[in-house]
Structure 1
Amino acid sequence: MNGATERNFENTVSADGTDAATDPRSAIYRLHGIPPLKLALPLGLQHVLAMFTSNLAPCFILAGVLGMSGADKVIMVQCTMLISGVTTFLQLYPIYLFGRRQGRPRIGAELPIVMGTSFAFVPTSVTIGRLYGLPAILGGALLGSLVEFFMGFFIKPLKRFFPPLVIGAVLMAIGANLLTTGMHYWAGGIGSPDYGSPANLCVGLVVFLTVLACQRFGRGMVALSSLLIGLLVGYILSFFMGTLDFSPLLDAAWVDIPLPFRFRYAFHWDAVLGFAALYVVSGLETIGNTSGITVAAFDREATVDETAGAILADSFGSMLATAFNTLPNTAFGQNAGIVAMTGVVNKFCIALGASVLVIAGFLPKVGALFSMMPNPVLGGALLMVFAMITINGIKLIAKTGFSQRNVIVLGITLALGMGFGGAPDAVLARLPGPIQYVFRDSVVAVCVVGILANAVFPREEQDLAVIDI
Structure 2
Amino acid sequence: MDMFSEKISPGKNLLVGFQHVLAMCPGTIAVPLIMGGAMGLDARTTAFLVSANLFTSGIAILIQVFGLSKYIGSRYPIILGSSFAPLAPMIMIGNTYGLPTLFGAIMVSGVLIFLLSFFLDKILMLFPPVVVGTFVTLIGVSLAPTAIQDLAGGVGSSTYGSVQNLLLGFGVLIFIILVEKFGKGIWRAMSLLLGIIGGTVVGAFLGMVDITPIQEASAFRLVTPFYFGTPQFEAGSILIMTIFCIINMIQCIGVFSVLDEIAGTHTDNATKIKGIKAQAVSQVITGAFNSVPSTMFNENVSLIDLTKIKSRSVIATAGVMMLLLGIFPKVSAVITVVPKAVLGGATLALFGVITSSGISILSKLNFFENNNFTIVGTSIAIGVGATFASDIFAGLPSTLSMICSNGLFMVSASAILLNLLLNGSKGLKR
Give the alignment's TM-score, normalised by structure 1: 0.73
CA contact (8 A) 1:290 1:307 kept: no
Instruction: For 1:94, give the aligned amino acid.
Output: G
Q: Following TM superposition, by how much is the alpha carbon of 1:160 offset from its aligned partner in structure 2, in angstroms? A: 0.8
How far, CA to CA, are the matches of 2:209 and 2:51 in structure 1? 20
The answer on whether the counterparts of 1:203 and 1:376 sit within 8 Å (CA) in structure 2 is yes
Matched, 1:85 2:55: no
1:49 aligned to 18, 42, 59, which one?
Answer: 18
Question: Which residue of the partner structure matches residue 161 of structure 1?
Answer: 126
For 1:273, the equivalent position in structure 2 comes to 243
Deviation at 1:369, TM superposition (A): 0.3
State the Cα distance separating 1:125 from its structure 2 match: 5.2
The residue number in structure 2 matching 1:116 is 80
Give the match's secondary structure for 2:209. Answer: coil
2:336 corresponding residue in structure 1: 371
Counterparts in 2 of 1:33-182, with a 5 A limit?
Answer: 41-42=10-11, 44-62=13-31, 68=37, 75-76=48-49, 78-96=51-69, 106-109=71-74, 111-117=75-81, 121-122=83-84, 124=85, 145=110, 148-182=113-147
Letter in 2 for 1:257: L
Q: How far 1:416 sits from its partner (Å)?
A: 3.1
With over 3 angstroms needed to count, the CA separation of the structure-2 counterparts of 1:170 and 1:108, relative to structure 1, is same
Distance in 2 separating the partners of 1:254 and 1:321: 23
Distance 1:61-1:162 versus aligned 2 partners, 3 A rule: same
Q: Measured at CA, do residues 77 and 147 of structure 1 come closer, stay the same or move farther in structure 2, by a change above 3 Å?
A: same
SS at match of 2:341: helix
Indicate conservation of the 8 Å contact 1:43/1:350, yes or no. no
Q: TM-score, normalised by structure 2?
A: 0.79
Q: Cα distance 1:335–1:138, how it changes in 2: closer, same or farther (>3 A)? A: farther
Deviation at 1:302, TM superposition (A): 5.3
Name the aligned partner's letter for residue 86 of structure 1.
I
Q: Is the 8 A contact 2:28 2:54 kept in 1?
A: no
Contact 1:56/1:80, CA 8 A, preserved across alignment: no
Offset at 1:183?
1.6
Specify the SS of the correspondent of 2:80: strand
Is residue 261–residue 325 contact of structure 1 (8 Å, CA) maintained in 2? no
Check whether the contact 2:105–2:238 (CA below 8 A) recurs between aligned residues: yes
- From 316, 333, 350, the equivalent of 2:301 is 333
Q: Which has the larger radius of gyration?
A: 1
1:285 aligns with 2:255: yes
Task: Find the counterpart in structure 1 of residue 150 from structure 2.
Answer: 185
> Conserved in 2, the CA contact under 8 Å of 1:113 and 1:335?
no
Q: Which residue of 1 aligns with 2:172?
A: 207
- Structure 2 counterpart of 1:409, from 367, 371, 375: 375
Deviates more, 1:80-89 or 1:218-227: 80-89
Contact 1:114 1:336 in 2 (8 A): no
- Give the 3-state SS of the residue equivalent to 1:195 in structure 2: coil
Q: CA offsets, 1:365-387, max 9 Å, x none?
A: 22100122222222122112122
Hey, what's the Cα distance between the residues in 1 that align with 2:399 and 2:347?
34
Query: In structure 1, what is the Cα distance between the partners aligned to 2:105 and 2:374?
Result: 32
What is the one-letter code of the residue matched to 2:120? I
Q: Would you say the 8 A contact 2:153–2:165 is kept in 1?
A: yes
- Deviations along 1:376-413, one digit per CA (max 9) or x if unpaired, are 22212211212222222222222233125112222332
Native 8 Å contact 1:211 1:230 kept in 2: yes
Paired with 1:223 and 1:162, the residues of 2 have a C-alpha distance of 35
Closer/same/farther in 2, CA of residues 131 and 186 from structure 1, 3 Å limit: farther
Residues 228-239 of structure 1 aligned to structure 2 (within 5 Å): 228-239=193-204
CA 112–416 in structure 1, closer or farther in 2 if over 3 Å, else same: closer
| 1:391 paired to 2:361 | no
Gap change, CA 1:424 and 1:52, over 3 Å in 2 = closer
The residue type equivalent to 2:389 in the other structure is A
- The amino acid that maps onto 1:398 is S
Is the deviation greater in 135-144 or in 329-338? 135-144
Matches within 5 A, 1:293-304: none
What percentage of residue pairs aligned between the two structures are identical?
22
After superposition, the Cα gap between the structure-2 partners of 1:70 and 1:145, relative to the gap in structure 1 and judged at 3 Å, is same
5 Å-filtered alignment, 1:435-454, equals: 436-454=401-419
Question: Which residue number in structure 1 is paired with residue 274 of structure 2?
Answer: 309
Structure 2: gaps (5+ residues): none
Indicate the SS of the match to 2:220.
coil
